[in-house]
Amino acid sequence: MIREIGASENPSLPFSSATAFGDLVFVSGQGGLSPETGEIAGQDLESQTVQTLENIRLILAKADLTLQHIVKVNVYLKDRSHYKEFNEVYRRYFRSPYPSRTLVYCDLNYDLLVEIDAIAVVNREEGDERRDDRL
């Protein structure tokens, strides 16, 4: 049975922020929008990436999970020139073994520079060395 983890911040949109099925939690695409104001966190990639990952962290917390439960991410960047900078910010949030990742360049809603969706596993194996120790 599918269960909703969080409703979309915009109730007029037909999707959930996250849903769970079995041991998997699927987080819908998140961008660098502040949950308090709905405004873009900043015009630069770093600000938007940090806000995006913090949004995912907040959604996962509703399911008693952390970013370290993530096993797969899809990243959407508006500009190829942001690849290196994105990876620098991403490394602050994830440690080896990193989640599997796909990265695509495309145009994004709200003129965002980055969007990320994720899949997390509720019951990860004992001995998983990933920690929530970002800088």
Residue-wise pLDDT tens for the chain (135 aa)?
A: 556 566 555 566 667 889 889 999 999 999 999 988 989 999 999 999 999 999 999 999 999 999 999 999 999 999 999 999 999 999 999 999 999 999 999 999 999 999 999 999 997 654 444 444 443
Confidence (pLDDT) at 41: 95
Confidence (pLDDT) at 131: 47
Confidence (pLDDT) at 54: 97
CB 86 within 8 A of CB 44: no
- Spatial neighbors of 123 by CB under 8 A, at least 6 apart, are 23
Q: How distant is the alpha carbon of residue 53 from its chain centre?
A: 5
